Amino acid sequence: MPSHIFERIVAAHLETAVHGDFPEGAFEAYLDRWRGPEGQRRYVRKVGSFDEGHTRELEPLLSTVEPPVRIAWGEQDAWLDPSLAQRLAETIPGPT
């Protein structure tokens, strides 16, 4: 894929990582890692290795977490639905 197109795809994905603006210089620092042919390979490997099953494997252990626990979740989270916070609160004993 041409570098300029790939960079726009990665940039669009990164822009969903925060609500609002990145701190000065942070966006370019993140994007730099995915630039060029080697950056493209790293990005595709990263995305290809994502498996929600890895997280699901840990879920049975959540009930063993000892308080104090505080669950904080962003209302504008574009990657994980904020309703997951409620699920965590119901699974972990005594979070606030």
Q: Please state the domain count of the chain.
A: 2
Do residues 95 and 84 both lie within one domain?
yes
Cα(93)–Cα(91) distance, integer angstroms: 6
Check pLDDT > 80 for residue 96.
no
DSSP bridge pairs for 95: 69
Do residues 43 and 59 both lie within one domain?
no
Length of the chain as a residue count: 96
State the pLDDT at residue 59: 83
Do residues 22 and 7 both lie within one domain?
yes
Do residues 56 and 42 both lie within one domain?
no
19 within 8 A of 81, measured Cβ to Cβ: no
| Both tokens assigned to 77 | 């989270």
Q: Which domain holds residue 43?
A: 1-50
Overall pTM surpassing 0.75 (yes/no): no
Instruction: State the average pLDDT for the chain.
Output: 86
pLDDT in tens, 50-91: 887 787 888 888 888 887 888 888 888 888 888 888 888 888
- Give 3-state DSSP helix, strand, coil % of the chain, rounded to 5: 60, 0, 40
State the pLDDT at residue 10: 93
